[in-house]
Structure 1
Amino acid sequence: MNRKRSVALFCTIAFTAGTLAGCTSNGAPAKEESAGADNTPLEVTIATPQVGEAPKKGSDIEQAMEKYTNAKIDIQWIPDAAFEDKKNIMIASSEMPKAFKVKANASTLNAIQSGLFWEIGPLLKDYKNLSELSPMYYDNIKVDGKLYGLPLYRDIGRAGIVYRKDWFDALGLKPPVTLDDWYNVAKAMAEKDPDKNGQPDTYGFFLDKNYNDPVQSNSFMTRLSVPNGAPNKWGVENGKIVAEFMTKPYMDTMKLLRRMFQEKLINQDFSIVQTADSDNKWNAGKVGIRVNTVVTASATSFDNVSKSTPNAVVDVVPFTGPNGLKIPAETGNNGFYLFPKSSVKTEAELKRLLGFFNKLLDADMSTLLTRGIEGKHFTKTADGKAQFKDLTLFNLEVKPYRDSLPSFETTGKGIPLKQNELQAKGSKIAAENLQSVVPNVALTFNSVTYTEKGVELDNMIRDAQTKYIMGKIDDAGWQAELDKWLKAGGQKVIDEYTAEYAKTNK
């Protein structure tokens, strides 16, 4: 489970604004090419959570994709806050797109095990780009040993601390390591007016409602508790699987947030704040720390805060705990695409869809989705690298596609990015993080109980954590909520995961 390998595939391509000159589908297999030899454009309907502002239909990026892949693309952008409800409605009604981007959770797992989606594992060998990637990307999303999804490939050790160095220097602070350090940083930034406007309107960090996401290893609680000794979602104690929130380091992290909430050092509305609102608070120059991805977010964070605070100084450091570098290993994806049998009627159509996604990993498409269009979003440097021309325009017009379709930001085949000092530092941290990631030991384990009751169980524990942090229940109340969770099926999940763990560690 400890994934230490990464993919490093770079080449240079010729890409001009609005056109693709001399492009060939060098990543498409002969078998797939012959399957679509009639040259009829493939209709590709996609549903995905919205990233930022939804691009306009027929955008330059979309047209370039359609021309290169010989497809007619129709993307349904669903607001992130409404996506899970919409997903479940679409699954229940069998009115699904041909490619459905989802995240791994109980409802997704249940739908897969119900036979609603095509298995694609045996077909990948016929697609050069898809099959040459490290197996870790696929192993991490298998269900009962079978592959149904195409992941949105991501680095596995991405977490780090992006912070306002000017604030830290002015207040005599260093990036936090221990939980006490996190408290001291939050207190200083909430009470010592680091933006010098005379108002109590700054925070050490600003939480949103996904702070304790029960599935994603990039949740704030998991990223903060793992360096302090907690497991990554699920760990092992005395040969048995244990949930992160049943361990002392995680409980210590909850107590820290409880204390901060009581002292108004964190935002009091954290349980209802959307991620976009949290981003906006940083952009407005009101937040000192972002626990985020270090490769892209460090530079973007600097660019965004600079608009409101031109003199802001931003830096990035690895996520270090009392015992050194230790971060939660992420799944290697930002969700994955499933192919519903109700809308993809035949295996031949499935193969053409896989061919479409395979082509998105060609050098030309990798550059399009991670850099944009030459002359509009980026320019090419003398040494053949891409340099963003207008990062704001890129974030508006390209980033939604980059974050919603399979592509590589730092390890792709497209034109490599000319990195500034902050980006280069973030990339170095991400590479070094791979040596110290803590895996989720139960990531691909199967639990019948979790499949049936996972949503209910996840909501129970999330609500209990929020109540505890907000002071609505005390330690005894938390234990009572934990006991309820165990009786409602949590103990069965633990037992079933433990049985799976025993089988894999004979």
Structure 2
Amino acid sequence: MKRKGIKTAVLFLCCALLLTACGGGQSTGEEAGSYDENAKATITWLNILHTASPPTDTILNKIEEKTNTDIQFSWIPDASKEERINTALASNSLADVVTLTILDNSSVRNALKSGMFWEVGPYLDEFPNLAKIPEDTRKSASIGGKLYGVPFQKDLARNGITIRKDWLDKLGLELPKTTDDLMAVAKAFTEQDPDGNGVADTTGFVDRNDLIYGAFKTLGSYFGVPNNWKVSEDGKMTPEFETQEYIDTMNFMKNLFDNGYINKDFAVTAKTDQQQKFAQGKAGIYVGALFDSKNLLNMAKGIQDNMELEIVNNITTTGNESDRAIWAANNGIGGLIAFPRSEVKDEAELKRILKFINDLMDEDVYALMTYGIEGTHYTVDADNATTITDTDLWQQEVQPFSSTRPKEFGYDIHDADPLKQKSDKLIKENAKHAVLNPAYSLDSETYTTQGSELQKIMTDATYKYILGESSLEDFKASVQTWRDSGGNRMIEEYEAAYKEVHS
């Protein structure tokens, strides 16, 4: 296996130095197929960092020991990932392994389609963990029917509702089962002084400036909105905002806003501020990832010590189980672990790196990257439930690796926290009702080049309608603007791509 140089102690360098370091190695000239897959391998990895600072070597050393590798990470801060990845692709200055999380980025998509990265679909079944990647996941992560990396596997549908159970109990209310119930609870939480302080200072919902990961898209699922696109039996595609269900969702949100059942500044509220408001007792309904409930309760300690939370994932307009639906974020794909042909020179080298990715999916390695070292970072009971014992140390040494895990679910080891256990259970249950985006793996040049610009037209129009700044006629005029500005072309391209894949 080629060597890439001495492991650097300084992980944050300027972009030019980082990219030069990643691309500096040369092949040893071994013939394809002659590499010993059981030999210790040196593997470089251009990876995304989602924490304030990179990890120490404590967990890295353990991972290297278990995977028989020397791993040389070059970390790119999440905030600058798009610019840095674009630069790396343009200069072909990469690493053996490259984390690609922005698959709708035009540079990334074009690089994948150009053959810059290995197609790995034909090799996955040679490795026990990789072979278990579901066919639907492989298809969703493919471009033009080809899989150019190992997909990061995330839970299909993580969202639902976190609600103040203590407020429900105080007001004599049941957990909501329908959207009408939810509206009634929001009204009561706003008007009936659920915190008992004699001041009208609470709202039902607290939301943020995000139509996707905030409340809107999850509420849309409850009303039956398709996940981005609706496909007819003959392959005709309709954008979600042209459905009646989307309008119903806007009307629900507009009702919340008009009556003061949601924070008036939700359209400009950041996620951290949203969560702080909930933790401070300003509202009783939070829509987002179900596992946020644990964090919200922890944030409330010392502020709202009497807070009791419940989580809900079965809201419908009718109350019927058969009508349950929840959108699947990126079809459960968190991006690709990709392997550039410029760095991974032959099939034998590719297979050795795929073995490494396969080994990262073993339960003991997953435990390392999620919880750390038993006795140092966490304890575990007879039921394989873990409790973090040193949060500061865990955040420093373990947390940065969480986004590097190729798979985030399906393991026996689990969190001991009751809310986290319940959220895991409900997220697993959500998968049965998950609604996929039928266009996720399809190719549209217009989407690649104009997707963000076109989406802004409809995002702005949606907010304006909810906030009472425009009429339904104005909203429909914006839809026409979207069509005239490239939407019609996008629809044609997606329909052609859909036909090609399903013919």
Range into which the TM-score falls when normalised by the shorter chain: 0.7 to 0.9
1:326 equivalenced with 2:321 (yes/no): no
Aligned ranges 1:65-464 → 2 under 5 Å: 65-69=63-67, 70-80=69-79, 82-96=80-94, 98-107=97-106, 108-196=108-196, 202-209=202-209, 211-213=210-212, 220-237=215-232, 239=234, 240-294=236-290, 296-323=291-318, 324=320, 325-330=324-329, 331-341=331-341, 344=344, 349-383=349-383, 385-390=384-389, 392-393=391-392, 394=394, 397-409=397-409, 411-412=410-411, 415-417=412-414, 419=416, 421-464=418-461
Q: CA deviation at 1:36?
A: 6.3
CA distance in 2, matches of 1:340, 1:90: 11
Q: Secondary structure in 1 aligned to 2:36?
A: helix
What do the CA deviations read for 1:183-228 (whole angstroms, capped 9, x no partner)? 443343344443445666544333333x224xxxx56322211221
Q: Which residue of 2 aligns with 1:19?
A: none
CA distance in 1, matches of 2:204, 2:82: 30
What do the CA deviations read for 1:320-371 (whole angstroms, capped 9, x no partner)? 2024322223412333333344555665554443333222112320111233
Q: Secondary structure in 2 aligned to 1:104?
A: coil
Q: CA deviation at 1:144?
A: 0.4
Q: Is the 8 A contact 1:241 1:501 kept in 2?
A: no
CA distance in 1, matches of 2:453, 2:257: 26
Q: Identity across aligned pairs (percent)?
A: 33
Which range moved further: 356-365 or 67-76? 67-76
CA distance in 1, matches of 2:356, 2:313: 37
Q: Per the alignment, do residues 200 and 434 of structure 1 end up closer, same or farther by CA in structure 2, a change over 3 Å counting? A: same
Q: Is the 8 A contact 1:46 1:101 kept in 2?
A: no
Q: Per the alignment, do residues 469 and 395 of structure 1 end up closer, same or farther by CA in structure 2, a change over 3 Å counting? A: farther
Q: Per the alignment, do residues 151 and 238 of structure 1 end up closer, same or farther by CA in structure 2, a change over 3 Å counting? A: closer
Q: Secondary structure in 1 aligned to 2:335?
A: strand
Q: CA deviation at 1:501?
A: 4.2
Q: Per the alignment, do residues 90 and 178 of structure 1 end up closer, same or farther by CA in structure 2, a change over 3 Å counting? A: farther
Q: Is the 8 A contact 2:56 2:396 kept in 1?
A: no
What 5-or-longer segments of structure 2 have no aligned partner?
Answer: 1-32
Give the letter for the 1:261 counterpart: F
Q: CA deviation at 1:454?
A: 2.1
Q: Is the 8 A contact 2:207 2:286 kept in 1?
A: no
Give the letter for the 1:463 counterpart: D
What 5-or-longer segments of structure 1 have no aligned partner?
Answer: 1-30
Q: Which residue of 2 aligns with 1:64?
A: 62
Q: Per the alignment, do residues 205 and 112 of structure 1 end up closer, same or farther by CA in structure 2, a change over 3 Å counting? A: farther
Give the letter for the 2:386 counterpart: Q
TM, length-normalised to structure 1: 0.79
Q: Is the 8 A contact 1:149 1:337 kept in 2?
A: yes
CA distance in 1, matches of 2:487, 2:92: 30
CA distance in 2, matches of 1:32, 1:378: 42
Give the letter for the 1:235 counterpart: K
State which of 493, 496, 503 in structure 2 corresponds to 1:496: 493
Q: CA deviation at 1:43?
A: 3.8
CA distance in 1, matches of 2:380, 2:355: 29
Q: Secondary structure in 1 aligned to 2:492?
A: helix
Q: Is the 8 A contact 2:49 2:400 kept in 1?
A: no
* Number of matched pairs: 461
Aligned ranges 1:5-44 → 2 under 5 Å: 34-35=36-37, 37=39, 39=40, 42-44=42-44
CA RMSD of aligned residues (A): 3.2
Q: Is the 8 A contact 2:82 2:102 kept in 1?
A: no
Q: Secondary structure in 1 aligned to 2:204?
A: coil
What do the CA deviations read for 1:420-470 (whole angstroms, capped 9, x no partner)? 543443344333333333232333233333233223222332233233333
Q: Secondary structure in 2 aligned to 1:162?
A: strand
CA distance in 2, matches of 1:190, 1:426: 26
Give the letter for the 1:245 counterpart: F
Q: Per the alignment, do residues 376 and 44 of structure 1 end up closer, same or farther by CA in structure 2, a change over 3 Å counting? A: same
Q: Per the alignment, do residues 272 and 374 of structure 1 end up closer, same or farther by CA in structure 2, a change over 3 Å counting? A: same
What do the CA deviations read for 1:218-275 (whole angstroms, capped 9, x no partner)? 5632221122121122113574211111111111212332343344443344444443
Q: Is the 8 A contact 1:141 1:147 kept in 2?
A: yes
Which range moved further: 482-491 or 255-264? 255-264
Q: CA deviation at 1:483?
A: 0.7
Q: Is the 8 A contact 1:106 1:450 kept in 2?
A: no
CA distance in 1, matches of 2:58, 2:202: 39
CA distance in 2, matches of 1:139, 1:85: 28
Q: Is the 8 A contact 2:45 2:73 kept in 1?
A: yes
